[in-house]
Amino acid sequence: MKYVFWVWAPLLLLAACQPDTSQETAREVKNYTIEQFMNNTSVFGGSFSHDEKRLLVTGNETGIYNAYSLQLETGEMKPLTASTEESVFALSYFPQDDRFLFSSDQGGNEISHIFLQDEDGTQTELTPGEKAKASYRGWAHDRKSFFFTTNQRDPRFMDLYEMDIQSFEPVMIYQNDAGYSIDGLSNDKRYLAFSKPINTNDSELFLYDREADKMTKISGEPAFYSAADFSADNNWLYYLTDAGNEFKYLMRFNIGTGEAEEVMKTDWDIMYAYHSYNDKYRVVGINEDAKTRIHIFEIQSGQEVQLPDMGELDISSVSISRSENQMIFSAGSSKSTSNLYHYDFASGTHRQLTNTLNPEIDPDDLVAGQVVRYPSFDGLEIPAILYKPHQASANSPVPALVWVHGGPGGQSRLGYFPLVQYLVNHGYAVLAVNNRGSSGYGKTFYKMDDRNHGEKDLMDCVEGKNFLAAQDYVDPEKIGIIGGSYGGFMVMAALTSQPEEFAVGVNLFGVTNWLRTLKNIPPWWESFKDALYQEMGDPATDSVRLYNISPLFHADKVTKPLMVLQGAQDPRVLQVESDEIVEAVKKNGVPVEYVLFEDEGHGFVKKENQIEAYGKILQFLDKYLKGAEEMAATEGEASESGGE
């Protein structure tokens, strides 16, 4: 589901881009427990306080996400909330005091609400409604109110509201009967930017004048369009498009004249662009071969700000203060957890604010991901990220896993993922495949899996297995497949339609019955349901194809050990999907393990659940993949002696 879960490149390639291992020497490393890996701390966000001396951030030091105040001078983190049941995600400090907004849902059901916490700790729910989902959309430029969207009026559509911080009475400012995506609002509140999906590749862009009650279509030829930001003077709408180009680039539309002009174009997708409070700086984020490149420009001079040289770390996000004198940025890598840093524009100096990696872990024991490419069955070049264990060698080959990202339309990227590092640390090579249909490699590549899921995209993963098998440090008989969401579907598609290719499968909350999933999408996805059906198929008219690609109806083909993990509150992939595939595969007499979390949704966010899930995944792989020969030998001996 490209739109939901979220080419330049030679389409024919004769040889794989082989990983460079010439300078590598196999060595033993310390094996860390899953508890040690999960004792890392995740800290993100960065809303400046009114005096710009503190940050409001989200952290999971206690094992569950809560809001914290981070002192810029000392780096001291002070807890502001103490939730033990539901995750709390910090949104923003108030403009003139230390009150703040946060969001929270129930057990991962994604029906999030917005809350106010006063300076004395009193919490007030600002967007009540048992089935009403609310999303924070930022402060008004005068900082006297904030905006949010909610589907309280109609479960299918998100209306736009404004809430002033004196009365806290919400006022609807746009009733969204057409199912637009509300992309932005000008500083004077006169203009709204809307996008509307045509399919998961193309969309339309509109500018609505609230005073004149006039809608202007900005988009032209069929392509991707999405608003990025309004200028501070309300004269320009900046937007992203890939019209006439493989990659998304930045344009701007003159609201007065109706003319559009190009602002910035690169050889990769521009993911986002926005301006600081008074338009002193423009921030541009580029998806450059599976990692984010940040560029900051002084708008008046056009000069680029020279960001700090972070060595092996990549700056992945920035937040500029209202005064435009300082900035917070996040930096990390595939082998380093992300940390927050403070940057002073005047001096150009920066300093680290957080230390999120567990001090018990030696970073040299972790593995940096390496971007590689290999040819698929039809010669198409497939990008991927390879993680080679330090202890792997031709003399000591290791088992391996093909990792499939979520989506469809997602992307495996060069960021820190504790599960991958945990598996690699324990001797598993991992190839994170960006199969056809993945984002980040141009719109031609992105469209290649439309109405083709579980077919050519799956064969890209099979060829990823073959790529791994060709590495002299990988045991070609011990290669499994693992993935979550769409990746979980690909796991089941592999085990049902290509049952002899992979030795084991680990399915994290993957779709197994597309007919049910597409009929039961959450109501707030209504605005892009038609676009989703364009890509995946309409269960009312395309039921035969959807039946054919749904692993549940072919579960009798599964012959290899299977592990399934699921959250009971998941609104995207319902628990019944996993319940049914587990029961169906058990009938085949093959090993099946099922891990269900009652208090998780689409993905696991609580540390205790992550520890249990990831730990059990390793146990499963050690038994059925790494120990496959030993297990087969043991079973053979038992058979010869009359055992079961």
Mean pLDDT of the chain: 91
Question: Which of 460, 536, 468, 348 shows the shortest CA–CA distance to 13?
Answer: 460
Instruction: Give dist(CA 469, CA 399) in Å, integer.
Output: 10
CATH class of 2-14+361-626: alpha beta
Q: Which two tokens stand for residue 209?
A: 């004048």
Contact between residue 370 and residue 335 where contact means Cβ atoms under 8 Å apart: no
What region, left, alpha or beta, does residue 620 occupy, with left being phi > 0 and alpha being psi -120 to 50 degrees? alpha
Q: How confident is the model at residue 11 (pLDDT cuts 50, 70, 90)?
A: very low
For 463-516, what is each residue's pLDDT tens digit? Answer: 999 999 999 999 999 999 999 999 999 999 999 999 999 999 999 999 999 889
Contact between residue 135 and residue 149 where contact means Cβ atoms under 8 Å apart: yes
Contact between residue 111 and residue 525 where contact means Cβ atoms under 8 Å apart: no
Asked if pLDDT for residue 6 goes beyond 70, the answer is no
Q: What is the mean pLDDT of residues 322-337?
A: 96
pTM: 0.91
Q: What is the mean pLDDT of residues 32-44?
A: 94
Q: What is the mean pLDDT of residues 12-31?
A: 61
For 563-600, what is each residue's pLDDT tens digit? Answer: 999 999 998 899 999 999 999 999 999 999 999 999 99
Q: How confident is the model at residue 628 (pLDDT cuts 50, 70, 90)?
A: low
Instruction: Give dist(CA 483, CA 135) in Å, integer.
Output: 28
Asked if pLDDT for residue 321 goes beyond 50, the answer is yes
Burial class (CB in 10 A: 0-12, 13-18, 19+), 462: buried
Work out the end-to-end distance of the chain between its first and last CA atoms, rounded to an integer number of angstroms. 43
Asked if pLDDT for residue 238 goes beyond 60, the answer is yes
For 146-167, what is each residue's pLDDT tens digit? Answer: 999 999 999 999 999 999 999 9
Instruction: Give dist(CA 580, CA 573) in Å, integer.
Output: 12
Q: What is the DSSP string of 174-235?
A: E--TT--EEEEE-TTS-EEEEEEESSSS-EEEEEEETTTTEEEE---SSB-EEEEEE-TTS-
